[in-house]
Amino acid sequence: MIEPLPSGSVVGILGGGQLGRMLAVAASRLGYRAHIFEPGAAPAADVAHAWTRAGYDDADALRTFAASCDVVTYEFENIPAASLDLLAGAAPFHPNRRALEVSQDRLTEKDFLAGLGLAVAPYAAIEGPGDLEAALAETGVPAILKTRRFGYDGKGQARVTAREEAEAALATLEGAPAIAEGFVTFSKEISVIAARGLDGSVAAYDPGENVHVDGILSTTTVPAAIPAALRTDAVLLASRILTALDYVGVMGVELFVTRTGLVVNEIAPRVHNSGHWTQAGCAVDQFEQHVRAITGWPLGDGTRHADVVMENLIGADVARAPALAAERGVQVHLYGKAETRPGRKMGHVNRVTGPAR
């Protein structure tokens, strides 16, 4: 039995957005203090014990931050390698560096997943226009060109529906190293949120069904309307990924449901927007689960006790929050962001639609 970190220990979180905010709240419920590292605006800092407001290139700030923490984690995956070097050794760091590096780069990520024998979209690397011909021969058309790094909410992507559009599509990525992915014909998108503890135990939540609007997650519904066998496949596949990475913490695994089975779209080495439903559907939600995993607690009970629809409040949607709050079974989460902008995630609601089916 591993001893959990004692009360009052400091959980360092790289990144200060809404995921960091909900992690900080979960950490405080377990008796910990959260220390946020974030150069920009930090909704997470409002609910944290400390905030280091500095850039990822500020070596002194990173070292002082790490020295103040008993464990360090992160809420976004684009942490530069040089910053990881500076953090190394100061405090335990979870999920580990390999998990971060694998998921930071779509090419590395695809190679890793394919190497595990998991189905992924056909893909090929593109360094420049000269690679397009061969890449599209590999993936077929239609295809999606994606920057290898820094993509989120569908940003850094361009669709190619006909060969002659390819050069123009690639130009929109402004010379960033990219990959081409064959377009996967899917009936649904689902995701699995899974966790692995310091002792190597693995737990997974029921898969949720995701609907995107304009490239941004709009709703997650549990249970996903898929056959039981696919639910099992999804959970087993997630567990293989975590174990292969010697992972500690919560991970989001995005999947396409196709005629031939599950195809892995991407993995996120952190708590995930499509796991917010767990706040209303499980005794232990994904945020507490992550904090438990990295601080040495036993993983919590993630059995789903309710059917839930999570809806993101994006941009002006946030004005609907008071009306939604008046509805039966609705839980409102707002992120405390000062400015409402189109496409910006301002909050979400979890609507309990009934007891677990």
Question: Restricting to residues 147-166, which ones interact with ligand ATP according to CB under 6 A?
Answer: 151-155
Question: In the bound complex, what is the minimum distance in angstroms from residue 22's beta carbon to ligand ATP?
Answer: 17
The residue among 19 and 24 lying less far from ligand ATP, judged by its C-beta, is 19
The residue among 189 and 209 lying less far from ligand ATP, judged by its C-beta, is 189
Give yes or no for residue 122 binding ligand ATP (CB under 6 A): no
Give yes or no for residue 314 binding ligand ATP (CB under 6 A): no
The residue among 105 and 254 lying less far from ligand ATP, judged by its C-beta, is 254
Question: In the bound complex, what is the minimum distance in angstroms from residue 160's beta carbon to Mg ion?
Answer: 19
By CB under 6 A, name the one of 183, 188, 329, 356 that touches ligand ATP.
Answer: 183
Instruction: Give the residue closest to Mg ion by C-beta.
Output: 254
By CB under 6 A, name the one of 52, 265, 289, 350 that touches ligand ATP.
Answer: 265
Question: In the bound complex, what is the minimum distance in angstroms from residue 148's beta carbon to ligand ATP?
Answer: 11
The residue among 58 and 153 lying less far from Mg ion, judged by its C-beta, is 153
Residue 226 has a CB neighbour count (10 Å cut-off) of 18
Question: In the bound complex, what is the minimum distance in angstroms from residue 264's beta carbon to ligand ATP?
Answer: 11
Q: How many residues does the chain have?
A: 357
In three-state form (DSSP H/G/I as H, E/B as E, the rest C), the secondary structure along the chain is CCCCCCCCCEEEEECCCHHHHHHHHHHHHCCCEEEEECCCCCHHHHHCCEEECCCCCCHHHHHHHHHCCCEEEECCCCCCHHHHHHHCCCCCECCCHHHHHHHHCHHHHHHHHHHCCCCECCEEEECCHHHHHHHHHHHCCCEEEEECCCCCCCCCEEEECCHHHHHHHHHCCCCCCEEEEECCCCCEEEEEEEEECCCCCEEECCCEEEEEECCEEEEEEECCCCCHHHHHHHHHHHHHHHHHCCCCEEEEEEEEEECCEEEEEEEECCCCHHHCCHHHHECCCHHHHHHHHHHCCCCCCCCECEEEEEEEEEHHHHHHHHHHHCCCCEEEEECCCCCCCCCCEEEEEEEEEEECC
**d(C-alpha 268, C-alpha 193), whole Å:** 10
Question: Restricting to residues 242-261, which ones interact with ligand ATP according to CB under 6 A?
Answer: 254
Stretch that binds ligand ATP, among 22-30, 85-93, 178-186, 281-289 (CB under 6 A): 178-186
Stretch that binds ligand ATP, among 146-154, 193-201, 235-243, 318-326 (CB under 6 A): 146-154
Residue 209: strand pairing partners: 190, 221
Site string for Mg ion, 250-289 (x = CB under 5 A): ----x-----------------------------------
Residue 50: strand pairing partners: 35
The residue among 51 and 183 lying less far from ligand ATP, judged by its C-beta, is 183
The residue among 15 and 300 lying less far from ligand ATP, judged by its C-beta, is 15
The residue among 11 and 268 lying less far from ligand ATP, judged by its C-beta, is 268
Positions that interact with ligand ATP (CB under 6 A)? 121, 144, 151-155, 181, 183-184, 189, 212, 215, 217, 254, 265-266
Positions that interact with Mg ion (CB under 5 A)? 254
